[in-house]
Amino acid sequence: MPSRESRIAIFTAFTLVCLAPAQAQSPYGIGRVATPAEIAGWNIDIDREGDNLPPGSGSVSHGREIFDQQCAACHGARGEGGIGDRLVGGQGTLATPKPVKTVGSYWPYAPTLFDYIRRAMPQNAPESLSNDDVYAVSAYILSLNGLLPADATLDAKTLSSIKMPNRGMFVGDPRPDVKNPACMRGC
């Protein structure tokens, strides 16, 4: 057995190595380095500014064709909803007793539409659309919501520049926001 002191010393050294914020040496030497090509193939995240949107473009009219063929069965002919969520309308309803949350009325950021459709839709065949087709069908959904003209073409730049109507309406978490006085008697 090492002495108590030497064990503490070993432990301290180990802890320092582990907690150093940006050490070049990996503490356990587990795993292998990911190559840029591997990362590029897997990293499909697009943030709210549209960072990482791929090259390509698509028109509203082409988007309508894709939507009719691959989306309308679940989302309705004009995005009014079905098995899948309603995608269109609802602007101006959020502060009423019957709020309708859709891409047009509720979503704060337009690039999220590309991100979500590419990773998850159509539900029966996700990641099957080309980037051009994802731009096109995103353009169509935005145009159905009055956020893009019917003759528009969408690409990384135009998608990132769309300001969604509900963008300013999101706030942080203020909870605990509800108080129960925890009455014990005569309540």
Partner 1 sequence: MSEPTDINEDMRTRRRFLREGGALVSGVVVAGGLVGRKASAATDTAENLPPNVPEWMKTPGDPMGSQPYGTPSSFEKAVVKNIAKDLPQYLSASGRTPLQDLDGIITPNGLFYERHHAGVPTIDPAQHRLMLHGLVNKPLIFDMDDIRRFPSESHIYFLECSGNPNYKKPYGKTASDLVGLLSCAEWTGVSLKLVLQEAGLQAGAKWVVAEGADAAALTRSVPIEKCLDDAMLVYSQNGERLRPQQGYPLRLLLPGFEGNMSVKWLRRLRVAAEPTYSREETSKYTDLMPDGSAREFTFYMEAKSIITRPSGGQQLSAPGFHEISGIAWSGRGKVKRVDVSVDDGKTWQEARLQEPVLTRALTRFRLPWHWDGKPVVIQSRAIDETAYVQPTLAELLAVRGEDYYYHNNAIWPWHIAADGEVTNALA
Count other C-beta atoms under 10 Å from residue 33's C-beta.
5
For ligand HEC, the closer CB: 17 or 44: 44
- Of 147, 182, 175, 179, give the one whose Cα is nearest residue 163: 147
- Using the contact rule CB under 6 A, the part of the chain among 2-10, 21-29, 119-127, 164-172 near ligand HEC is 119-127
Q: Does 73 help bind ligand HEC (rule: CB under 6 A)?
A: yes
Per-position b or e across 3-28, b if 16+ CB within 10 A of its CB? eeeeeeeeeeeeeeeeeeeeeeeeee
Instruction: Please give the structure tokens belonging to residue 27.
Output: 């503490």
For ligand HEC, the closer CB: 37 or 125: 125
DSSP character for 85?
P
For partner 1, the closer CB: 59 or 160: 160
For partner 1, the closer CB: 5 or 178: 178
Which of ligand HEC, partner 1, none does residue 37 bind to, with CB < 5 to 8 Å depending on kind? none
Count of residues for the chain? 187
| 94 burial level (CB within 10 Å; 0-12, 13-18, 19+) | middle
Q: Does 52 help bind ligand HEC (rule: CB under 6 A)?
A: no
Which of partner 1, ligand HEC, none does residue 137 bind to, with CB < 5 to 8 Å depending on kind? ligand HEC
Residues that bind ligand HEC (CB under 6 A): 66, 70-71, 73-75, 83-85, 87, 102-103, 113, 116-117, 121-124, 137
